[in-house]
Amino acid sequence: MKDNIYTIPLIDAFHSNHECPFCFIYNNMENEALEFMLGSAYMADNIREKTNKLGFCSNHYKLLYEHGNRLGLALMMHTHLLELKKTLDPLLEANSPRESVSKLSIFKKKETENNISKFISENKSNCYICDKIDRDMNRYLDTLFLVWKKDPKFIELVKSCNGFCLSHFAALLDMAPRKLSGNTLDEFYNIIIPLTKENIDRIEEELSWFIDKYDYRNKDAPWKNSKDALPRSIQKIASMDVTNYNDSNN
């Protein structure tokens, strides 16, 4: 196997000391995507064509709004809105909700979804940034298995990392039988399952000490590794980076 463009960032992520190397990559890709979108990409016709069609998910609208380039976001929002209206307007003009109940509801009485709400809910799950990150994330997950088979030093590196968040752990478990076989597959499970258990136990202890530090009797005791145990627990369990949020309430 030849190294691909994903190999070095993947190895760097395993050196990062993060709660999940794939979340580390996700956070970097997300920051790059936000910079890219509002830096210049919103002016490029080929990208606008896609954002007009897909728009963004709620989380990425929030992050794009917080980025601060309000004109860039307004331009993308406006042409996306015009694109939405192309489908939505005829639906709104042609149908009363009662008439537009889809045929599906004849068979499944409980589902009274009509064409308008169907279009709205489908559209809500689209996101240009999520699509792009998901595609690249699958390449990174693929690359883990390629490097795993090729480089014993990489296996040692994986053993020494802080484990994975729950959803990336689940993704690895699901992908492994398609990527590895026989003893190599057994070895993979025998390493990553105890690694995950050990690191969930560690974060539970760190969070527990974070809570104990609120007891006045522990006021002068050392924090150990627990000062940021709450955001790291959220990253571990929910794959979510909350470290950019306002910290004034702690």
Give the residues lining the site for Zn ion (CB under 5 A): 20, 22-23, 57, 60, 127, 129-130, 165, 168, 239
Min. distance of Cβ 170 from Zn ion in angstroms? 10
Query: From CA 112, how far away is CA 17, in angstroms rounded?
Result: 49
Min. distance of Cβ 50 from Zn ion in angstroms? 13
Q: Which helix (H) or strand (E) holds 193?
A: helix 182-212
Closest CA to 191 of 166, 168, 163: 163
Q: Which is nearer to Zn ion, 114 or 195 (CB)?
A: 195
Identify whether the C-beta of residue 188 lies closer than 8 Å to the C-beta of residue 178: no
Length of the chain: 250
Tokens of 227: 């000062």
Min. distance of Cβ 126 from Zn ion in angstroms? 9
Q: Which is nearer to Zn ion, 55 or 114 (CB)?
A: 55
Identify whether the C-beta of residue 115 lies closer than 8 Å to the C-beta of residue 91: yes
**Cα dihedral 85/90/93/95 (nearest 10):** -120
Min. distance of Cβ 19 from Zn ion in angstroms? 8
Closest CA to 164 of 172, 154, 156: 172
Min. distance of Cβ 212 from Zn ion in angstroms? 27
Identify whether the C-beta of residue 115 lies closer than 8 Å to the C-beta of residue 89: no
